[in-house]
Structure formats: structure tokens, C-alpha cells
Structure 1
Amino acid sequence: MDRYILYETYRLAMLIDLVRPEELIGKVDAFITETPVNQIPHAFYVLSLTRNRRAMIEMLTDLARGVDQSLPSSIVAGMLAQRQDQYETAELYMKAGMLASLLSDPDEDVAVEFRVLKERNDALQEAYGTRFKRKKTRERMLAKNELDLQRALQKYEKYAEQFSMYKWGT
């Protein structure tokens, strides 16, 4: 896997608050300790020493500039699928919507799919709101929409599994 894809994946994941800087620093530090000095990119040392989230995102943005976002966005969607138990449904929609809005190509599969799901959920929330006179209808529609989101996320889970097995040095 190309290192630029790695940079873009972590940039997107950090922008939607899926990965914390400490997690990335831990992975970079592990790579640095396991790799001969002449094979470590200088950027990894800088990432390892950066504690500021904003500076880290700026650096990842500079490093990943020009990378096709289709694979990184699929990986991040898969990471979101793996961690979906940690978030409430509203947070999942927010993170999926943020991911879709961050992609430079609005016609990207991930962007289109998540944008449609978020728009449909927002429309349902607006239509039914918290009114209780149609409570069963509201709950049924929201449950169907939530199931569609979970199915969409599960399609990308294989990308995150392959990414987690990736050795940074190869």
C-alpha cells in the first residue's frame, strides 16, 4: 500500500474524530522502533513528535496532497463500521456525512452513498421530529434508515480489515 494512501486515510479519520492523535502517534512510534533508521521517512519523526491535532492534520494534508481519495475514504468508512458500537446513531450519521463532505470528488461512491443516507435521515427527522402522534411510523422509518446505514458501513468493513493488517514498512 502506498504511504500517501496511509497519510490520506489518517487525515480523513482524524478530521471526523474517528482517530485521535495519540493513536496515530502510537502507530508511528511502533513503526520507528521496529524499522532500521535508513528506512524511516523523515515525516514519521515529525508526526511522532507532533502533539497538536491541528498541526498533525495540516502535515498529513501536505503529505497526502494529490492522492485519489477513493481507497482512503473506503478504509475510513470501514473503520467507522468497526467502531459503530461506540457511537449513537446520530453520531454515525454525523461522521458519515462529514466524511462525504470532506471528499474532493462529490461523485465518489462513499460520498454519494453517505450523503444520500444523511439527507434521508435529516428529512425523516424533520418530517417526524419528536411528535408522538405518529410515534410507531417514526420509529419504523428511522429504524429502516439506521439499518441502511449499517449495511452501507458493513460494505466497507473489509477495507478497514485489510488496512489494519498493513505493515507500514512494506
Structure 2
Amino acid sequence: MERYSLYETYRLGILIDYIKPKELINEIDEFIENTPTENIPHVFYVLSLASDRRTMIQLLTDLSQGVDEEGPASIIAGLLHRDQERCTIEELYRKTSLLASLLKDPDGDVAWEFRNLYEAFEEAQLAYGMRFKRKKTRERMLAKNEKTLRDALAKYAKYADEFDNKNWGN
């Protein structure tokens, strides 16, 4: 995985509150400890010393400018699929919707798919509150939407491996 795509992946992950800045700092510190000084990009020292989330996001934004967001967004979707047990279904919807809203191209595959899934979820939630809907009908509607989201995330599962095989040196 190219370093700049990795920066964008981390930026998106931090923005949707999937990745914690402390996790990134720990990974960078580990890289710094295990790499000869001449092979460490200067920006890693700056990232390692970032004092808050906002500073880190700004640095990652500056570093990843010009990177096609579809790849990093697919990786985040794959990570959400892999770790979906960590989140409630509402959190998964919120994270995927936020991911879709962060992408510059609203008509891109990832943005379009997750935006539509969130809209279907919102419609189901509205229907859930309507008195004339039967409880079983509402539950089936919500279960169908949940399965659709989980299936959509499953399509991106292969991208999570790409994140695990990151290479900071490229």
C-alpha cells in the first residue's frame, strides 16, 4: 500500500472515530524504533509528537492531498466489516454514513452505496415510529436493512488485509 493512501486511510478512520489517534502514534513510534534513522520520513516525527486529534487530522490531510479516496474508503469499509462486532448497528450506520459524507466524489461507488444504505435505515427508523405499522413488520424491515449493510460491508472485507500489510517505507 502506498504511503499516501495509508495516510488517507488513517485520516478517514480517525474522522469517523474508528481509529484512535493514539493507535496511529503507537504504530509510528514502533516504526521509528525499528527503522534506521535515514529511512524515517521527517513527517513521522511530527505525527508522533502530534498533541491532539485535530493536529493529527490536519497533518494527515496535508500529507494525503491528491490521493484517490476510493481505495482508502474501501479499506475503512473492510475494517468496519472485520470489526463489526465492536459496534452496534446504529454505530455502523453512523460510521458508514459519515465515511460517505467525507468523500469528495459523492457519486463514487463507496459514497453512493453507503449514503443510500443510510437513507434506507432512516426511512425504516421513521416507519418504526409510525403507529399503523405492525411490530413484526417493523422488525423485519430493520433486520433486512441491517443484513443489507452487513452484506455491503462484506464486499470490502478483502481490503482490510491491505491495511494489515501496510508498508510505511513506500
TM, length-normalised to structure 1: 0.96
The corresponding residue for 2:85 is: 85
State how 1:57-72 maps to structure 2 within 5 Å: 57-72=57-72
CA RMSD of superposed structures (Å): 1.3
Are residues 133 and 155 of structure 1, via their aligned partners in 2, closer, same or farther at CA, if it must alter by over 3 Å? closer
**Structure 1, residues 55-79: CA drift from partner, whole Å, max 9, x if none?**
0001100111111101000001111
Offset, 1:130: 6.9
* Alpha-carbon contact 1:31-1:169 (below 8 Å) kept: no
Gaps of 5+ in 1: none
Identity of aligned residues (%): 59
Gaps of 5+ in 2: none
Offset, 1:82: 1.4
| Alpha-carbon distance between aligned partners in 2 of 1:158 and 1:27, rounded to the nearest angstrom | 22
**Structure 1, residues 51-104: CA drift from partner, whole Å, max 9, x if none?**
300100011001111111010000011111112101111111000000000000
State how 1:1-170 maps to structure 2 within 5 Å: 1-129=1-129, 131=131, 134-170=134-170
TM, length-normalised to structure 2: 0.96
Report which structure shows greater RCO (CA 8 Å, sep ≥6): 2
Secondary structure of 2:66's partner?
coil
